[in-house]
Amino acid sequence: EAGVAQSPRYKIIEKRQSVAFWCNPISGHATLYWYQQILGQGPKLLIQFQNNGVVDDSQLPKDRFSAERLKGVDSTLKIQPAKLEDSAVYLCASSLKAGGTHSEAETQYFGPGTRLLVL
């Protein structure tokens, strides 16, 4: 079974430029997540989708970040304009479901991440 795919793996941009990341979840996984991991920290959730609807975007800086999952499968995360503090690894994850019970069906599987450096 193929894992979560992300591209690009690395990106270097200058501040105020825009950048987009792509994620394709594990086949059949209804729930998709984007996390930001700053160096030396654990990942922080930016946005969670259930199919093509947003479940949680409370920590997404909406003035510059946007994300979509139009057909309920793959997703893009965009930053426009980028700031120096956006330098981080952007991780995409997916899970079979995100119901109210705790079970292994809610386990999140991560992609390889995109390392972004903003100069």
Site residues (vs other proteins, CB under 8 A): 31, 33, 40-45, 48, 50, 55-56, 89, 91, 93, 95, 98, 100, 102-104, 106-113, 115
Q: Could you tell me the smallest distance in angstroms from the CB atom of residue 105 to other proteins?
A: 10
- Number of Cβ atoms within 10 Å of the Cβ of 100: 6
Tokens of 55: 């479940």
Q: Could you tell me the smallest distance in angstroms from the CB atom of residue 8 to other proteins?
A: 13
- Number of Cβ atoms within 10 Å of the Cβ of 89: 16
3-state secondary structure 22-40: EEECCCCCCEEEEEEECCC
Output 16 or 61, the one with its CB closest to other proteins. Answer: 61
Output 30 or 81, the one with its CB closest to other proteins. Answer: 30
